[in-house]
Structure 1
Amino acid sequence: MEREQEELFSKRVRAGKRTYFFDVRTTKANDYYLTITESKRKPKDDGFTFEKHKIFLYKEDFNKFVNALNESVEHIKTDLMPEFDFTQFDRDEDDDLSWD
């Protein structure tokens, strides 16, 4: 029950061999923060394991983080790769599903 109160929202983004999780959580003081987790499946012995990296983002840093991310992506798109067609990646995760 405590876990359900802690995690309020979750969004999964599959990206090749990696999966990113965006989880909105609450603190004991009823404040909110975001965890961004990168999970990558790696072979191990006769099975596999997951390598995970996590970022904790607090409300006072939301705008700074989003602005820096947007500026960085825009720099790549307009200054470094202006001829590249990034729209080829504009599809939902569900587009990869096949019902055949």
Structure 2
Amino acid sequence: MENERNSKRLESVFSKKVKAGKRRTYFFDVRRTKGEDYYLTLTESTKKFGRDGYERHKIFLYKEDFNRFLASLEETINYIKTELMPEYDYEEFDRRHAENDEYDEDMERSPEGEEEDLTW
């Protein structure tokens, strides 16, 4: 019974994945605490260069820190975008990822246009 509760607590109740290039992915997972509260885990997963496996780094963010964390994150990103690198085209990566996502979807389809049964 205790193991079931721990397993349930560790399950994500909401998850979002952000691909960032070929080797890096970010995961945003909402998880439940023992006291039926919720927190956010931010995970950076990077494919190890020249080796099998992944390197992971996690940040645990709790509800009492959400507003301050988000405000500081936005302020820091805006500082980079407006003060340090205002000439940079930040949408370039959005366009590139959209093109890659379309390519990935096309590659998952068989020549007849049907999706293949992929196993991982």
Tell me which interval the TM-score lies in, with the shorter structure as reference length: 0.7 to 0.9
* Distance in structure 1 (CA, Å) of the matches to 2:77 and 2:29: 22
- CA separation of 1:63 and 1:92: change in aligned 2, threshold 3 A: farther
1:65 equivalent to 2:48? Answer no
Structure 2 unmatched runs, 5+: 108-120
CA RMSD in angstroms comes to 2.1
1:38 equivalent to 2:54? Answer no
Per the normalisation by structure 2, the TM-score is 0.71
Tell me which structure has the larger Cα radius of gyration: 2
The Cα offsets for residues 4-23 of structure 1, whole Å up to 9 and x where unpaired, read as 56310000011122111000
Equivalent residue number for residue 21 of structure 1: 27
> Which residue, out of 58, 62, 80, partners 1:54?
58
Matched length: 97
**Per-residue deviation at 1:93?**
5.1
* Structure holding more strand per residue: 1
* Distance in structure 1 (CA, Å) of the matches to 2:91 and 2:20: 15
* Structure holding more helix per residue: 2
Equivalent residue number for residue 118 of structure 2: none
* Distance in structure 2 (CA, Å) of the matches to 1:33 and 1:79: 32
* Distance in structure 2 (CA, Å) of the matches to 1:63 and 1:25: 18
The Cα offsets for residues 35-89 of structure 1, whole Å up to 9 and x where unpaired, read as 0001111133xxx011110000000000111111100000000000111121222
Equivalent residue number for residue 17 of structure 2: 12
Per the normalisation by structure 1, the TM-score is 0.84
The Cα offsets for residues 23-43 of structure 1, whole Å up to 9 and x where unpaired, read as 000101000100000111113
